[in-house]
Structure 1
Amino acid sequence: MATGTADATATTDPLPRRRTGPPRWLVGVLAGLAASLLVVLATRLVGATPLGVEDNGDGYRLFCGAGLTPLTADGYASWRGGWTAEYAVGPPTCEDPVPSSALLIARATTALAEGTWSPVVLGWTYAVLIGVVVGLGAWAAAAAGRRRALVVAIPVLPLAAATFPRFFVSTYSEPAGLLGAVTVGVGVAAVLATRREHRAARIVALALTAVGGLVATTAKVAYVPLLVAAVIVCAVTAIGTARPRRDGPVIALVTVLLAVVPVTAALARQQQFYAPVNAHNLVFTTVLLEVGPSATSPLGLPPEAVELTGNGYFNGPPRPDGVPWWEGAILGRPGETRASALVVLAEHPSAAARAVGVGLQATTLADLPYLDAFPAPATALSSPDGHPGWSGARQPDLAQVLQDTRRPPWLPAVLVVVALAVAATARWQGRAGRWSLAAGLAAGTALALVVVAVAGDGYFEVFKHVWLAAYLLAVSGLALVGAAVTALLGLVRHREQGRRE
């Protein structure tokens, strides 16, 4: 009788449902709006003087393909003491613009322009794209609990410093690389926050990871480590419970297939247009500087080649045009010379370590003060001089720049070592292990970006070339903080349970 009464009561007066918090779509919308607002505020897009990045000459290779012509006194956009604020819109002004996802985004914004165009439009576009990415990532992460959506803040928080998002207001390829890196970070965060039974959420998370890797690598081929990281994450992530390792590898394979054509085309273009430049910079700004005069013979260079040590192809002392040995090694066979330079570095591990160390140290100066953040007056003229020290085009200017900074030169290297160490022991860290894996992945990818930058172009423009690595190191540092806090909270809970027992 009692049982029947209880059943009747349960039928007529059901217990209230447990609150699960706001719907996931609302969590995603709010997270996306917050991320977009962060970018807008960091770059001052709502102010009279938005923050951007002065063109160093690289911008032309992209904006010419978008049909943009600088509305300046001399028709140039570079080295004007600030970024160019206004362009005329028309047909492409070059036959072979740089192939980049950044070019596609720029072209999309010029399609809506009426006569004139400003990089500020790009800033707003990237702010919206960041919001979309973060919103999708937060929606996916919230499948494991609404509070889990907070994990997407880790790859977003570094954007609070203008150091990174100010590139969104520029005609470089770097902003698309940053968009891709943020997308990979958001995707990985959502993967780590969810479980394999959250099938739809993990598919969205892996799609973000894969798309981010593709966007970054097609922005600049030097960002290929981000694609590698994205493919690895997709390949090892389990989705579903019946066949948990089927979908992830498929996404990884599709990502690789989609990347083959644009990556090989970008590499071929780099070899076609910049092989002598890259070979010269690697040999003279790095190999001869770190290895010494003994490297001339393995490189097929005469002893007098050491006189060019530390000099970059651009922005440095005049090149030795007309000198037979230079034109033969650099202009005639740049691929062979560059390969020999890499072999020399491999045979001198201490020199290679110093070179990578310089690249890591350069990440401490990711704010790139030599590239002005404010718009230049329309009457300002372009200067061909550049900044030899900051561009890494002349020694001892580069060494002086590195020496003058008050930021700890050892910090990036220590961060990489610590992050990789904690990632290697993640399986024994309990809940903190996921944070440690994220820290290790970000640090390892940053290190790979530095290696690619130094091996590709030596110390030339090293600060700008490792700028995206600096963002990933910031993400790694935040993930390490998350791991430490999680471990500390776990220890407190364990002690409380012990006291209760």
Structure 2
Amino acid sequence: MTVPAVRGGARWRRPALGLGAGGAAALLVVLRLGLLTGGTYGVEDNGDGYRLYCGAGLVPDTVDRLGAWKGGVVTDFAVGTPSCWSTPSSAGLVLRAAMLGNDGTLALGAVAGWYAVLVGLVVAAAAWAASAAGTWRATVLVVPVAPLALGSFTRFLLSTYGEPAGLLGTLAVACGVAALLVTRPDDRSARVVALIVTGVGGGVAATAKVAYLPVLVVAVLACAVVTVGRRRLVGPAVAVVTVLAVAVPLGAAVEFQDSVYEGANVHDLAFTLVLTELGPAATAELGLPPDAAAFTGDGYFNGPPHPSALWWSRAIRDRPDDTRSAAWAALARHPAALTRAVGVGLQATTRADLPYLASGPADTSRVSPPGGDPGWSGARQPDLRTVLDGTRRPPWLPTALVLLAVAAAGSAVAWRRRAPVTARWCLAAGLGAVTALGIVVTAVLGDGYFEVFKHVWLAAYLLVVTGLCLLGSVAAEIGRAGRRFVRAPG
């Protein structure tokens, strides 16, 4: 009579494990944000949030009907008529989902609640898939979920930015890849679910912000090399479907970015990065007159008034593509400067806390100022260097972590048969490091040093995951050495 009970318990153990893991992850988000106590712990709008909520018809409940730079988070909105052409983003879908059934108002806590539920669903599906390899191996999901206990990452879920959808998608990719690494090809249903989680996560991240495209690239590549049973085409098929599914919304997001912010991005690339790193002589390489060097370090949105000379209008407004190409070519001719720029982007991940964006409740009676903090926005010099030097972590740590993870993943190919568990941890660390590096490179080559700390924020999450994976590889190797010692004769 005991055999059926055991089989029944085994049949329900995996769904129960998935639901438990998903519920725990969702509860972690809810508690960290203080949603149950009615507290406010989010991210102040710096003007980027307007790109999403204006298109949804949301109007901040403030004295000037604006939500930016209020010294805190605006949590209450009225629902009206869309007032702008909002950026296409998966974060906008979550925002509109939270508006369902509203009574003409929207509390930002409802948006955070939706994100908490989605986090739970992602973790539940990945935990169910990973548990096909055993309950103990399913605990690898602790690695991508644990960083959500850090307020630097979780507080973005209480905001109107595109970043929270990027975090959700990246979490899904990390959980899906973790499930793929611990399962075997014979775990057919588990691997199919893990592939779907990975592909959907990559699509959500890339359509949240165009700058998160590296997450999609890694997700597609991970799916493409996975085998399900004896069928080698299942993984590539999921990869192809993922690309086709996001092609249209991603193209629309790129079109929006180019039509609205191309001039600003090119200005920031030229004046906050290229001229800062290469010096006044680089004006000739950019096709600019020597007078342009006087504006070195000035961002498009937070610098002094824009140059009024014809050369600026011609380079930034009329021929931005030519100026961007010239900037990239100049950096390619000076690899040391390009390396320094990427190093600055990696160092900026040490300040993922973004203290210049307040986390508490906003002052709704405060009129929004025209700009933010010049140092933290990363445009003016030497303010950027002052902020970078003020970090409490070694400035070389992110770069060293990336190099170590990539080296570990590359070397794992040679000894994966001797220590497969350690090799899988190293491979996961390498994927996290490469994705983080891709986000950093996209940020600095796309918008220069302007607000670089916020632009590489998601890379900081990935580097935390990378560090945890490296620790997992060390623990696995210590465990393997311990087992060999115990089994040794005498």
Partner residue in 2 for 1:363: 349
How far, CA to CA, are the matches of 1:326 and 1:80 in structure 2? Answer: 32
CA shift for structure 1 position 16: 9.9
Counterpart of 1:157, as a letter, is A
1:443-469: CA deviation from partner (whole Å, max 9, x where unpaired): 100000000000000000100000000
CA shift for structure 1 position 332: 1.3
1:58–1:172: 8 Å Cα contact kept in structure 2? yes
CA shift for structure 1 position 148: 1.6
For residue 225 of structure 1, the aligned residue among 214, 218, 235 is 214
For residue 329 of structure 1, the aligned residue among 294, 309, 315 is 315
1:389-431: CA deviation from partner (whole Å, max 9, x where unpaired): 1001211111111112222111100000000010001231412
Partner residue in 2 for 1:308: 295
Counterparts of 1:115-194 in structure 2, within 5 Å, are: 115-194=104-183
Counterparts of 1:39-50 in structure 2, within 5 Å, are: 39-50=29-40
1:391 paired with 2:381, answer: no
TM-score, normalization by structure 1: 0.94
2:60–2:76: 8 Å Cα contact kept in structure 1? yes
Counterparts of 1:94-493 in structure 2, within 5 Å, are: 94=84, 96-241=85-230, 243=231, 245-320=232-307, 322-427=308-413, 428-429=415-416, 430=419, 431-493=421-483
CA shift for structure 1 position 340: 0.7
1:21–1:146: 8 Å Cα contact kept in structure 2? no
2:40–2:73: 8 Å Cα contact kept in structure 1? no
CA shift for structure 1 position 66: 1.4
CA shift for structure 1 position 152: 1.1
How far, CA to CA, are the matches of 2:198 and 2:362 in structure 1? Answer: 37
Counterpart of 1:439, as a letter, is A
The change in CA–CA distance for 1:497 and 1:57 in structure 2 (over 3 A counts) is same
Query: The residue matched to 2:240 in structure 1 has which SS?
Result: helix
How far, CA to CA, are the matches of 2:189 and 2:6 in structure 1? Answer: 24
Query: The residue matched to 1:425 in structure 2 has which SS?
Result: helix
The change in CA–CA distance for 1:409 and 1:14 in structure 2 (over 3 A counts) is closer
1:317–1:394: 8 Å Cα contact kept in structure 2? no
C-alpha RMSD of the superposition: 1.6
Instruction: Look at both structures and tell me which one has the larger radius of gyration over its CA atoms.
Output: 1
CA shift for structure 1 position 15: 12
Counterpart of 2:377, as a letter, is S
TM-score, normalization by structure 2: 0.96
- Structure 1, unaligned runs of 5 or more: 1-11
Counterpart of 2:182, as a letter, is A
Query: The residue matched to 1:117 in structure 2 has which SS?
Result: strand
Q: Which runs of 4+ in 1 moved over 3 A?
A: 12-22
Partner residue in 2 for 1:23: 13
How far, CA to CA, are the matches of 1:83 and 1:16 in structure 2? Answer: 52
How far, CA to CA, are the matches of 1:14 and 1:200 in structure 2? Answer: 25
How far, CA to CA, are the matches of 1:126 and 1:257 in structure 2? Answer: 25
- The answer to which of 300-309 and 427-436 deviates more is 427-436
- The answer to which of 441-450 and 107-116 deviates more is 107-116
- Structure 2, unaligned runs of 5 or more: none
How far, CA to CA, are the matches of 1:128 and 1:353 in structure 2? Answer: 40
Counterpart of 1:72, as a letter, is T
Counterpart of 1:73, as a letter, is V
Partner residue in 2 for 1:57: 47
The change in CA–CA distance for 1:14 and 1:143 in structure 2 (over 3 A counts) is closer
1:32–1:131: 8 Å Cα contact kept in structure 2? yes
1:32 paired with 2:22, answer: yes
1:314–1:393: 8 Å Cα contact kept in structure 2? no
